[in-house]
Amino acid sequence: MTVKKISRYEIEKEIGRGAMGVVYLANDPVINRKVALKTIDIANSLDAAKREELTKRMLTEVRSAGRLNHQNIITIYDYGEDLLPFVVMEYVEGESLESLRKKKGRFSLNEIYPIISGVAGGIDYAHAMGIVHRDIKPDNILITKDYVPKITDFGIARILDTSSTQDSGIIGSPSYMSPEQILGGPIGASTDIFSFGVVIYYLIAGEKPFSANTPHAVTYKILNEDPKYPSFYNPALTLHVDGVLFKTLSKNPKERYKTASDVVESLVRASSIQKDKTAQSIRDIASEKRNFLSELSPVDTIFEQATTNLRKHAFDKKQKR
């Protein structure tokens, strides 16, 4: 069945589909603006009382997320209910970071700095506003044609967390979930920091830090095992970068970085340390070369003087004949 219209929004085409619903490109005829409309179908299987409770929470969360106004966050315009609850958001031409990674493969640190710096700015801004995303992952980060990252689905993950469907198991991939999320513990800014660390690890190592064949096996690793060093997969990375990622992925929230920007700044410093060491190595080699040449210089002078004396001796001997 082709959807033509949801509430007042004219549907043009489907542009995405996920665990919680479908995303459409739509037109808002009132102000003639292209928007992204996301349906939320988790409420469809609930009874009337639970559905009403959930939709109230949805409205609360969307209102809260709708206060966010940042260049690296997708703006929420509207919320409503038709056949399903839906959220209307800013439409961005581009592709998800997940799609970009699949095309490109592994990124270098220099390549991801513009991306992770923007994402960190958006995360820290939301945290300052008292909002935790709870589902930071490459699928929820859109990259515009100008290579600007924009985080989407603020408020949506909170709706999922508070819905009764959580009782039946984990919704979606658990690869980016923090230990406290898995255990149902307190959720805070450090939860997004952990997920942010998983994203960075994935981009520069080309592999996820916690991967297995089943969701439960993944969650077990997150709770009980340390990941391999990123440099295991990408030899271009240094132990300093490994250290930054391990701190970001600490199982104890108190041991992680306080802000997403702290993570990026630490990565920059880690990269600079390597560059400084490389430059120092070059300087050391140059210094050793100069010392070696200075030691050779007297030898060269003696050799040249001896050669001159031999030539002079041969010339004098010839003249006497």
Residue for token pair 């306080």 = 258
Helix (H) or strand (E) holding 289: helix 260-320
What φ, ψ does residue 23 adopt, rounded to 5°? Answer: -110, 130
Which residues, 6 or more positions from 245, have their beta carbon under 8 angstroms from its beta carbon? 197, 200, 201, 209, 230
**To the nearest 10°, the Cα dihedral for 97, 98, 100, 106?**
110
Radius of gyration of the chain (CA): 30
**Catalytically annotated residue among 135, 139, 153, 242:** 135
- Asked whether the beta carbons of 23 and 14 are under 8 A apart, the reply is yes
Q: Token pair of 116, please? A: 């992770």
Question: What is the strand order of the sheet 85-90 is part of?
Answer: 5-6, 9-17, 22-28, 33-39, 85-90, 76-81
Instruction: Specify whether 82 is catalytic.
Output: no
Catalytic residue set = 135
